[in-house]
Amino acid sequence: MAENAHEATLAARWLPRVKHHKKDAVLECREIDFEEYQILQKINNEDPYLKCSSRQEQDLSPEIMERAEKEDAISDQHIKHSKRDILAYRLKKAKEKIDSILEYAKEDASYWDLSLESEAGLD
């Protein structure tokens, strides 16, 4: 039994048939008494959607498919990059690092050159 809404939400997101990664998986969280809990348990125990243990079982029943939430097309797609794209990205990042190091080295060298000149009285 959860002590607060945050604990209840965490527990509910890890129930079977709940989209665990979705932030809005829990639509409402409210306190109920034991009698209401028992009624809801009975309803859920008879629910065919909640009895499914896999997507394949879910696909067999049109009644269940009507109730199942459709995933967003974008979140369902996994963007696959070609090796060329991946290499180009890595090369770009490596070049940025090298440029950053070179810029730092130039600043550092110019600092030391100035300080050596001032110590030698070459100002």
Classify residue 108 by burial, with Cβ atoms within 10 Å: 0-12, 13-18, 19+.
exposed
What pLDDT, on the 0 to 100 scale, is given for residue 72?
43
User: For residues 116 and 80, which has the higher predicted lDDT (pLDDT)?
Assistant: 80
What pLDDT, on the 0 to 100 scale, is given for residue 30?
82
What pLDDT, on the 0 to 100 scale, is given for residue 17?
67
User: For residues 90 and 119, which has the higher predicted lDDT (pLDDT)?
Assistant: 90
Helix (H, G, I), strand (E, B) or coil at 94: helix
- What is the domain partition of the chain in residue ranges? 1-31, 36-70, 79-123
What pLDDT, on the 0 to 100 scale, is given for residue 9?
77
Q: Are 117 and 123 in contact (CB under 8 A)?
A: yes
pLDDT band, residue 74 (cuts 50/70/90): very low
Q: What is the CA radius of gyration of the chain?
A: 30
Q: Are 57 and 68 in contact (CB under 8 A)?
A: no
Whole-angstrom distance, CA of residue 76 vs CA of residue 51: 24
pLDDT digits (tens, 9 = 90+) for 25-73: 677 778 888 999 899 899 988 888 778 877 788 778 777 777 766 554 4
- How far is C-alpha 22 from the geometric centre of its chain's CA atoms? 8
pLDDT digits (tens, 9 = 90+) for 75-104: 445 566 788 888 888 999 999 999 988 888
Q: Are 68 and 58 in contact (CB under 8 A)?
A: yes
